């Protein structure tokens, strides 16, 4: 396997490359996402309780599929596993359990997140050799075709175009290889969207695709859908300001075009609080829903039906 990319080149400011031409919209979006997670690296673990729960659920969901897949592949070739969108690295321990022994790759778009993941990987519970850090885009993986036994991604692919990210997952998986993916469906943060709808017409979340969309994109990429699961989980806080702070602390404040410019005025903020207050639970907490989608996907052997 060729040596993967381990860093990103510094980018000029103001959304323009060195030659002065504006960056295309997709490049600007990727830069915005990377910047959000760079800023969130120090606060992510403190606010990521739901993200850790989803990671653990993906591991439990994926265990029987991995147990049926990985041992067969390990007899044929060295086993390699990728954490695609590793964040601060708490999913890497799941790779140890699902795919031992394996050469691990920890990939993230944000260098600061990778630095956190590398520090976490020095813990004795991690693989002795430690994961190889790769700073890259999930839609353009610097990994060899058909080189992975396991592609793992927990709460990262929702930032990507489903067709592009699953095409890449399919490309890097070896025949018989397994992809375990956790992403978010359209009811994610619905309370926030409905509350803001009374304030403005701006976008306050990214678009979240339903499970049918992800399953169709997987099949179009040549991946068989072995299993799927949907569950709703919630983060919570005692007040709206704390809830929004936690969402920002995990890097989830980035949206596509159409976002609001400028801060809310006092009256708008009070209206927003009043709207969100209708969702307060009986225990006194305000919830933020996460519509979780879990997928187990397999790269078929040549000639096998998808």
CA distances to 4, 20, 106, 259 from 176, in Å: 23, 46, 21, 42
Whether 189 and 289 have beta carbons less than 8 Å apart is answered as yes
H or E stretch covering 175: strand 173-184
Share of the chain above pLDDT 70, in %: 85
Assign domain 25-188+207-235+290-298 to its CATH architecture: 3-Layer(aba) Sandwich (3.40)
Residue 23 pLDDT > 70, yes or no?
Answer: no
pLDDT, tens only, 25-61:
778 888 888 888 888 888 888 888 999 999 999 999 9
Average pLDDT of span 133-150: 96
What phi and psi values does residue 175 have, to the nearest 5 degrees? -55, 130
Token reading at 192: 């926030």
**pLDDT-based confidence at 263, cuts 50/70/90?**
low
DSSP secondary-structure letter at 108?
Answer: E
Beta bridge partners of 259: 203
Residue 297 pLDDT > 60, yes or no?
Answer: yes
């Amino acid at each position: 396997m060729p040596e993967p990319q381990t860093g990103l080149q510094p980018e000029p400011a103001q959304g323009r490359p060195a030659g002065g031409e504006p960056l295309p919209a997709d490049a600007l979006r990727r830069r915005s996402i990377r910047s959000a997670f760079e800023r969130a690296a120090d606060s992510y673990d403190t606010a990521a309780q739901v993200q850790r729960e989803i990671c653990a659920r993906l591991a439990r969901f994926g265990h029987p599929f991995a147990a049926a897949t990985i041992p067969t592949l390990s007899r044929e070739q060295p086993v390699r596993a990728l954490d695609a969108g590793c964040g601060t690295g708490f999913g890497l321990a799941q790779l140890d359990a699902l795919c031992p022994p394996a050469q691990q790759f920890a990939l993230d778009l944000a260098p600061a997140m990778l630095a956190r993941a590398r520090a976490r990987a020095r813990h004795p519970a991690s693989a002795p050799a430690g994961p190889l850090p790769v700073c890259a885009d999930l839609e353009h993986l610097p990994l060899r075709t058909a080189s992975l036994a396991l592609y793992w991604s927990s709460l990262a692919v929702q930032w990507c175009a489903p067709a592009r990210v699953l095409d890449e997952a399919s490309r890097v998986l070896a025949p018989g290889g397994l992809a375990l993916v956790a992403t978010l469906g359209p009811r994610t943060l619905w309370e926030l969207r409905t509350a803001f709808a009374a304030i403005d017409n701006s976008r306050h979340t990214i678009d979240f695709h339903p499970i049918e969309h992800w399953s169709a994109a997987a099949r179009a990429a040549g991946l068989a859908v072995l299993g799927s699961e949907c569950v709703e989980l919630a983060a919570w806080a005692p007040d709206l300001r704390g809830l929004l702070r936690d969402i920002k602390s995990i890097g989830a404040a980035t949206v596509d075009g159409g976002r609001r410019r400028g801060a809310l005025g006092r009256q708008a903020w009070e209206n927003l609080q009043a709207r969100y207050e209708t969702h307060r639970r009986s225990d006194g907490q305000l919830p933020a829903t996460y519509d979780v989608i879990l997928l187990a996907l397999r790269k078929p052997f040549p000639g096998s039906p998808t």
